[in-house]
Amino acid sequence: MTRPASSSSVGSVPDPCDLVDPAVATDLGLPQGRRGTFGGKPECQFRAGGPVGGRVLLDPGPGAAPEKLRPHTGDTVTSLEISGRPARQEAGANQRTCSVVIGYGADGSATVDASTRSAGEPSTACAIARKLAESVARRLPR
């Protein structure tokens, strides 16, 4: 995968690819991140057709704090703290997806998604999402 040569922030929103420790991504079996946007918000996608994929999506708010976002219907929701920040884990009903939503700034969030290709224990996708989220949370602005 190729990455644009420049890494930049949009306004006060950090570049989501810069928030991921490359060593953590490699340890999790994720390919190199690709910058993009989703719904006008910056994201970093980790997809290459392998068994594991991921994404980091930033939403500076307003109204994007974890406690203000509605989880997907059927997800199993667990409150967490990641690197001293409020967070929420959402394990997908399909057992192949998991998201960790981390609060940052006054009313924003970083959503870290992980997916696995085969059905199985949701803990696998959630373990990947939590490790990736810990890497992101350490680099997020307060």
Is 126 in a helix, a strand, or coil?
helix
Residue (of 82, 68, 69) closest to 129 by Cα position = 82
Cα separation of 111 and 43, whole Å?
Answer: 9
User: The tokens of 110 are what?
Assistant: 């970083």
Higher pLDDT residue, 51 or 3?
A: 51
Q: Is the pLDDT of residue 128 over 80?
A: yes
Q: Does domain 16-139 have CATH number 3.30.70?
A: no
User: The tokens of 82 are what?
Assistant: 């990641």
Q: Residue 8 — very low, low, confident or very high, per pLDDT cuts 50/70/90?
A: very low
CB contact at 8 A, 101 and 87: yes
What's the pTM value of the predicted model, to 2 decimals?
0.85
User: The tokens of 40 are what?
Assistant: 């006008």
| Arithmetic mean of pLDDT, 81-95 | 91
| Per-residue pLDDT reduced to its tens digit, 16-34 | 999 999 999 999 989 999 9
Q: Residue 5 — very low, low, confident or very high, per pLDDT cuts 50/70/90?
A: very low
What is the average pLDDT score of the chain? 86
Cα separation of 18 and 123, whole Å?
Answer: 26
